[in-house]
Amino acid sequence: MSEKMATLKAGDVEIEFPIIEGTEGHPVIDVRALGSKGYFTFDPGFMATGSCESSITFIDGAKGILLHRGFSIEDLARDSDYIEVCHMLLHGEKPTEEEYQEFKHTITRHTMVHEQLNMFFHGFRNDAHPMAMLCGTVGALSSFYHSDLDVSDPEQRKRSAHRLIAKMPTLVAMCYKYNVGQPFVYPRNDLSYAANFLNMMFSVPAEDYKITPAVERAMDRIFILHADHEQNASTSTVRLAGSSGANPYACIAAGVASLWGPAHGGANEACLKMLEEIGSVDRIPEFIARAKDKNDPFRLMGFGHRVYKNHDPRATVMRESCHEVLAELNVDNPLLDVAMELERIALSDPYFAEKKLFPNVDFYSGIVLSAIGIPTNMFTCIFALARTVGWISHWHEMMSQPGQKIGRPRQLYTGHSKREYTPLKK
Ligand code: SDX
């Protein structure tokens, strides 16, 4: 029984609720008994609602802290790789060297997709947005694994997780190849996860793609920085879809759909389009003014965050990576100058400080992806590729928890009370 209690006084009703402490972060008030007392909580946008118990990722928005299984994102981005981070997120612990090699071998050998899946692409217009194709093909994956979809079986859940982590790069690269009219490139087991993805994206039958170590490292780091982020909109979508017992491929397709929005994962594509629209440093004040204008719906894409009100630790790492990649590739991207000047002006403007609007992970990722040669309309697919491990780890955690229930929020009803119906005169 919780020692601490919260008391709610509503009219002449006084209700006590247990306060539950986690290992880090805000304690929660357990309001599950509230419904039986005749009340619901009301929290559109879930600004102050804990939807679940999780041990995967911790975020401290005020201090700009992001931990995966207790390890800081700065340490992981500097010294780990995406495959190791995937093992931590999915299986809960840093792998031993032997576990790492076994996990890497497993993922590598699930990277191919069923040959019939190729035909799904030929139903799309060739100018279809890659995220439209990704939504469709990820959901379609479930049609190839009917005998392995028992979500109550931990082994089948883990196999689905391994398949999704392994096949997302293949599907994302296929979306790109279909858009540019080049043949699909098969995965290669002799390449790292990041190098394999780059090879499937950029190699062509006429010549092999030359993997640059700096680009491979930057790609892997982008995957790490986007791997998981607590109960963000797309992860919450995956959890809610999974709570009905839907198969993991359908749940991940739902996550892809939610991530697509410009307020969420679509921000990196929108941010680069905004930098291109600004075009030059001297036009920045015009856009800053628009962002501050209450009557203008324009927002600075890549700025602001629901949780981080100090700085997004991922943006700090991404900024370093951005400079490294551009220097290594000797890319002189004028958009970086615009981005740096926009960041400087925004951070010195009282409005942004007051609203606690700082560059988020999407602000610099678009510039790095652009420098690597990835087209803007592919940015959110890359985010979805990287976030798949987070989504499926949360799904697996939820399905492993005893007493898991279907998610079914209630509402504040403000429509008509019961009224008489008179049929139309027929
Ligand atoms: C991601 O949740 C996650 O963890 C997401 C993510 C992940 O890894 O999963 O971190 C990834 O989605 C990062 C966020 C990417 N989105 C963008 O960069 C789009 C631009 N940012 C915003 O749309 C906005 O900041 C949100 C959606 C990110 C956060 O919105 P909130 O928390 O709901 O804040 P809000 O919309 O209520 O804004 C608070 C105030 C408002 O002004 P007032 O009404 O109080 O006067 O700040 C203003 C907003 O107008 N504001 C901005 C702004 N973001 C908020 N003003 C200008 N430019 C912006 N970008």
> For residue 346, what pLDDT is reported?
84
Q: Which has more pLDDT, 382 or 321?
A: 382
Q: Which has more pLDDT, 113 or 326?
A: 113
Average pLDDT over residues 33-37: 91
- pLDDT, one tens digit per residue, over 257-273 is 999 999 999 888 889 99
Helix axes 267-278, 379-400, angle to 10 degrees: 160
Report how far ligand 1's centroid is from the alpha carbon of 352 (Å): 12
pLDDT range class, residue 85, cuts 50, 70, 90:
very high
Cα→Cα distances 323→35, 336, 368, Å: 53, 9, 9
The lowest-confidence range among 104-118, 195-209, 297-311, 397-411 is 297-311
What is the residue with the minimal CA distance to atom 30 of ligand 1? 306
Report how far ligand 1's centroid is from the alpha carbon of 115 (Å): 41
> For residue 310, what pLDDT is reported?
83
The lowest-confidence range among 158-172, 175-189, 235-249, 258-272 is 258-272
pLDDT reading at 426 higher than 80: no
pLDDT range class, residue 364, cuts 50, 70, 90:
confident
Cα→Cα distances 125→20, 179, 412, Å: 52, 9, 42
Backbone phi, psi, residue 113, to 5°: -105, 155
Pick the atom of ligand 1 nearest to 363's CA. 18
Average pLDDT over residues 134-149: 95
Average pLDDT over residues 189-203: 98
Q: Residues 269, 275: contact at Cβ < 8 Å? A: no
> For residue 65, what pLDDT is reported?
95
Q: Which has more pLDDT, 269 or 182?
A: 182
Average pLDDT over residues 399-403: 94
Q: Using most ligand atoms within 8 A of CB, pick from 258, 264, 300 the residue to mutate for ligand 1.
A: 264
pLDDT reading at 413 higher than 90: yes
Pick the atom of ligand 1 nearest to 233's CA. 2
Report how far ligand 1's centroid is from the alpha carbon of 359 (Å): 10
pLDDT reading at 196 higher than 90: yes
Q: Return the closest-CA partner of residue 321 out of 210, 222, 193.
A: 222
Helix axes 130-140, 154-180, angle to 10 degrees: 150
pLDDT range class, residue 324, cuts 50, 70, 90:
confident
Average pLDDT over residues 140-147: 94
Pick the atom of ligand 1 nearest to 299's CA. 58
Q: Using most ligand atoms within 8 A of CB, pick from 225, 299, 349 the residue to mutate for ligand 1.
A: 299
Average pLDDT over residues 344-363: 88
What is the residue with the minimal CA distance to atom 32 of ligand 1? 306
- pLDDT, one tens digit per residue, over 220-229 is 999 999 999 9
pLDDT reading at 1 higher than 90: no
pLDDT range class, residue 100, cuts 50, 70, 90:
very high
Q: Residues 395, 248: contact at Cβ < 8 Å? A: yes
Report how far ligand 1's centroid is from the alpha carbon of 169 (Å): 28
What is the residue with the minimal CA distance to atom 25 of ligand 1? 304
Give percent of the chain above pLDDT 90. 79
User: What residue ranges line ligand 1, CB within 6 angstroms?
Assistant: 229, 232, 263-265, 267, 291, 299-307, 355, 357, 360-362
pLDDT reading at 147 higher than 80: yes
Give percent of the chain above pLDDT 70. 100
pLDDT range class, residue 336, cuts 50, 70, 90:
confident
pLDDT range class, residue 391, cuts 50, 70, 90:
very high
Average pLDDT over residues 151-163: 96
Report how far ligand 1's centroid is from the alpha carbon of 70 (Å): 26
Which amino acids are annotated catalytic? 305, 362
Pick the atom of ligand 1 nearest to 302's CA. 18
Average pLDDT over residues 74-80: 96
> For residue 2, what pLDDT is reported?
54
Measured between alpha carbons, how far is 340 from 322 in angstroms, rounded to an integer? 11
Q: Using most ligand atoms within 8 A of CB, pick from 59, 305, 364, 391 the residue to mutate for ligand 1.
A: 305
pLDDT range class, residue 389, cuts 50, 70, 90:
very high
Measured between alpha carbons, how far is 180 from 201 in angstroms, rounded to an integer? 10
Provide the CATH number for the domain formed by 5-50 in this structure.
2.20.28.60
Report how far ligand 1's centroid is from the alpha carbon of 233 (Å): 12
